[in-house]
Chains A and B, each alone.
Chain A
């Protein structure tokens, strides 16, 4: 199976991009790394062993358009499957091989890995989001899409500035609605570097200055209005993904701990 890894980037530091790329190069099976500039080309990447797509203009949609473009180019170039890797995350070396094995043994068209969460100082977070553990939510970098699920490219491409905060959730909802065969590697082979305050609070660590924040009320409002005009994403999809609890909570609140599950297993297990 020919596999491409697609990484959109915009303004991440060189060291972060290098770490992501090296984790792709360290895979135990052969893969092509497609990096997509969501804006200007970064010349320093020309030294990497990558296919470099340059969009020349930022799309302000969390990399969704760049991701879709990379996936489309990968399938058109004859790859059988695409793994996504966001620029600030990394794979363990067996990530792609373990996903390929699931496709080959189950015939799944879309496969997901699990993840381990790392704080920006390298500390491993001992918690995971409950909706991830319960498999309602799958982070983008855990997605592995075979060409049989290539229609999802259109879903990725249609997020826009309104829907992108929900992108991975909506893709999973669209896949489930189409009833395509889904598989799980059950391996925590993605290292997800979190900037969500929840994970820092749970670990008793200070929240980073570049914390990710979302105004869920606005996300909900914009998402519902966008659903009217999108042929790929239905209002049912949006209702399904907005059903989970979101928003700011404090560790003193029971709701905070309800959103998390303690994880003891080491990375890659």
Chain B
């Protein structure tokens, strides 16, 4: 199977991008890395074995537009599976082989890989979000699409930008709405560098200065059931909207 890894990037430090990049070049399964600059292309990347797409401006949608662009280009070039990897995360060397094997064994069109959390200083965080552990949502870098699942590749860019902070929840809902056969990996192969305060607090630490927060007012105001239905063919929030009480991360639990 021809596999593409899609990474949007913005202004991440080169060191972070190279960590991400190297984790793809060291995969045990042959794959092509599409890196999509969201307004701030880094010429240093041109010397790496990547497919480098340059968007001339940033889109302010958590990487959704470049993520969709990379996926659409890969599909047009005949790639049969798309694995997503955000620029501040990295894969274990067997990530692609494990998820593709799982897709083939189970005939799933979408595989949700398992992640392990790290704090920004390199400390391992042995917790997971309750809703991720309960498999009601999954992080962007956990997604692998194949078969009919490739139809979701453009959804990243078609959802209204106000929903981009919860884009992974929208995509999980899209997979369910399209009745895509999905499977969940048991063993972690994605490394997620967290900037979410809950993970720091669980470790008894202060949140970092560049901590992530979801602007729920913007998310709720940006909800437009008609637009979602017109663009994606369904409303992931069933007419009632993405209420924070139902969708915000509901705490953490210790890993198995």
Give me the interface of A with B, judged by CB distance under 8 Å: 41, 51-57, 59, 61, 64-65, 68-69, 72-73, 75-77, 109, 147-151, 153-154, 157-160, 180, 231-232
Interface membership of B75, Cβ < 8 A: yes
Give the docked Cα–Cα distance between A253 and B212 (Å): 70
Interface mask (B45-73 → A, CB under 8 Å = 1, otherwise 0): 00000011111110101001100110011
Interface residues of B in 142-164 (CB under 8 A from A): 148, 150-151, 153-154, 157-158, 161
CA A84 – CA B51 in complex, angstroms?
A: 26
Partner of B53, one of A55, A148, A150: A55
A-B contact pairs, 29 of them (CB 8 A): A53-B56, A55-B53, A56-B52, A61-B76, A65-B72, A65-B73, A69-B73, A72-B65, A72-B69, A72-B154, A72-B158, A73-B55, A73-B69, A75-B157, A76-B59, A76-B157, A147-B227, A148-B230, A151-B158, A151-B231, A153-B158, A154-B154, A157-B72, A157-B76, A157-B154, A160-B75, A160-B78, A231-B148, A232-B151
Q: Given A76-B65, A150-B158, A231-B151, answer yes or no on A68-B56 (Cβ-Cβ < 8 Å).
A: no
Docked CA distance A229–B140 (Å): 25
Residues of A with C-beta under 8 A to B158: 72, 150-151, 153-154
Q: What CA separation (Å) do A173 and B75 show in the bound complex?
A: 22
A250 CA to B142 CA, complexed, in Å:
58
Q: With contacts A41-B54, A157-B72, A158-B75 known, what are 20 further pairs, Cβ within 8 A?
A: A52-B56, A53-B55, A53-B56, A54-B54, A55-B73, A57-B77, A59-B77, A61-B76, A69-B72, A72-B158, A147-B227, A150-B231, A151-B230, A153-B157, A154-B151, A157-B75, A157-B153, A160-B75, A160-B76, A180-B230
Q: Is there contact, CB below 8 Å, between A59 and B61?
A: no
Q: Which chain A positions have C-beta within 8 A of B64?
A: 76
Flag whether B208 is at the interface (Cβ < 8 A): no
Q: How far is the CB of A66 from chain B (nearest CB, A)?
A: 9
Note all chain A residues with C-beta closer than 8 A to B13. none
CB contact under 8 A between A65 and B53, given known A76-B59, A76-B61, A153-B154: no
Interface flag for B233 (CB, 8 Å) = yes
Q: Secondary structure at chain B's binding surface: helix, strand, loop or mixed?
A: helix
* Contact residues in B for A52 (Cβ distance below 8 Å): 56
Q: Is chain A's interface secondary structure helix, strand, loop, or mixed overall?
A: mixed
In the bound complex, residues from chain B placing their C-beta under 8 Å from that of A65 are 72-73, 76
A73→B76 contact, CB < 8 A: no
Cα–Cα, bound, A64→B56 (Å): 19
CB of A167 to closest CB in B, whole Å: 12
Tell me the residues in window 22-57 of chain B with beta carbons closer than 8 Å to chain A beta carbons.
Answer: 51-57
Closest residue of B by beta carbon distance from A164 = B76
Among B181-235, those with CB < 8 Å from A are: 227, 230-233
Cα–Cα distance between A69 and B77 once the two chains are bound (Å): 14
Distance (whole angstroms) from the CB of A109 to the closest CB of chain B:
8
Q: Which residues of B contact A151 (CB under 8 A)?
A: 158, 230-233
Closest 3 CB pairs of A and B: A231-B151, A65-B76, A76-B65
The complex places the Cα of A159 from the Cα of B75 at a distance, in Å, of 10
Docked CA distance A59–B78 (Å): 10
Q: How far, in whole Å, are A41 and B56 apart by their CA atoms in the complex? A: 12
Distance in angstroms from B135 CB to nearest chain A CB is 24
Q: Which of chain B's residues has its CB closest to A78's CB?
A: B161
Could you tell me if B75 and A57 are in contact, using CB atoms closer than 8 angstroms?
no
C-alpha spacing A231/B146, complex, angstroms: 12
Q: In the complex, A264 Cα to B161 Cα: how many Å?
A: 47
- The residues of A that contact B233 with a CB separation of less than 8 Å are 151
- Please name all residues of chain B whose beta carbon is closer than 8 Å to the beta carbon of A72 when the two chains form the complex: 65, 68-69, 72, 154, 157-158
